Amino acid sequence: MHQRRPEEPPSTPPPPRGTIGSTRPPSAVRIGDFVYLVGAYQRVRDMRSAGTAAHRVLIFARRAPWVMREARTTGPSACSDHSPCSDGASSLSPHHARSFAMRFRKIHGAGNDFILLSNLGLDYDNDWSKEAERLCARRTGVGADGLVISRLINDSPAVLEVACFNADSSVATMCGNALRCSAWAAHRDHGFQQMSLRMAGVVHEAVVSDESVWVTAEVGAVLPRRLQAVINGRPTWFDSAHTGTEHVVAIVDDVDAIDAVMVGRLVRHHIDLAPLGTNVNFVQSTGQQALKLRTYERGVEAETLSCGSGAVAAVVVATMRGLVARRAVTVHNRAGEPLTVRPHDARPNRTHWVGGPVTHTFEGVLA
């Protein structure tokens, strides 16, 4: 069992050259700033909303994303993301990658495919964002929607730390299918049937059964009529739903009649959603407690065959709009491998389960 180190030592060392230390709230931190964590200043590579204006998910190059909920010791950077610090300030405590072959799994959750590394020690680190861009390339790499790093933190009870890096090198603060694939691998490797998965500071429950793998998704702000766009000549409203990451959802008559890539890309970069952007979902009611979904995913910058957090967002919005009742809903996708979304028994208003198949495609070794 690994004990968690305290986040703050008794005294704070001076900030690195190029910074001026001060205490600031999450809303004041910017990309390129330094935040003091676990005994060292960490440079913020990117950030995401944490579902509330008061919190931020901070993303670093060489450690897991972290949710900043209160004021911390920080310092602005004298370097830019386009001009890295020559004195090493951009990576203050680097863990140099070791030269050895890494085994990986190619795995997909209902068509959403990943390169999964799950046998790394806690002390092994790398610039996974850069690796994700290289490995996920469809023509020159292994090819995938994302790279998933899963580490066992504790085995009784079972706890894993999961990080997901999108194909464009950005960090996913929530990816339901990546969590489901990680839970499947933990069941295969360690025999766990129930476990906790921690992604970007949020703990998700996971249950593995014979036919499906289930994980929880936390539902944040739901805003009706967030923005409007013209689709096939018709003005269409998009509602927004935060399911661990940003989503907008449009209810349409026929999802197959929509150019999901063209419309999705326009809405994803809509000025009303700047600077974070969003995932874009098109949803059609296909019968009692059934939906059909297409998703343009931010970070992949393309339509994916399935999206777990998008399925949850679709069900939340469809429930708000009266298209489905507050019970299990089947969400059909482009892969033809439906996901099921249902409210959590103990927390039905803020937590949903999303479950479905996971397929292990092949294994390999990264040179």
- How does residue 366 score in pLDDT terms, banded at 50, 70 and 90? confident
Q: Which residues are part of the catalytic machinery? A: 175, 307
**pLDDT for residue 121:** 63
**pLDDT for residue 79:** 45
Question: Is pLDDT of 21 > 80?
Answer: no
- How does residue 9 score in pLDDT terms, banded at 50, 70 and 90? very low
How far CA 145 is from CA of 148, 177, 347, in Å, comes to 10, 11, 31
Whose CA is closest to 159, among 131, 132, 199?
A: 199
Whether the CB-CB separation of 207 and 182 falls below 8 Å is answered with no
Mean pLDDT over all residues of the chain?
85
3 state DSSP class of 22: strand
**pLDDT for residue 50:** 61
**pLDDT for residue 69:** 79
**pLDDT for residue 194:** 98
Strands 34-37 and 40-49: antiparallel
Choose between 307 and 68: higher pLDDT: 307
- Give, as one character, the DSSP assignment of residue 318: H
**pLDDT for residue 13:** 52
Question: Is pLDDT of 248 > 70?
Answer: yes
Phi, psi of 327 (to 5 degrees): -155, -170
How far CA 65 is from CA of 111, 164, 200, in Å, comes to 25, 10, 5
pLDDT in tens, 90-139: 333 333 333 346 889 999 999 999 999 997 765 566 789 999 999 999 99
**pLDDT for residue 66:** 76
**pLDDT for residue 271:** 93
Quote the tokens at residue 20. 């001026």
Choose between 246 and 23: higher pLDDT: 246
CA gap 34, 93 in Å, rounded: 12
Single-letter residue type at 276: L
**pLDDT for residue 157:** 95
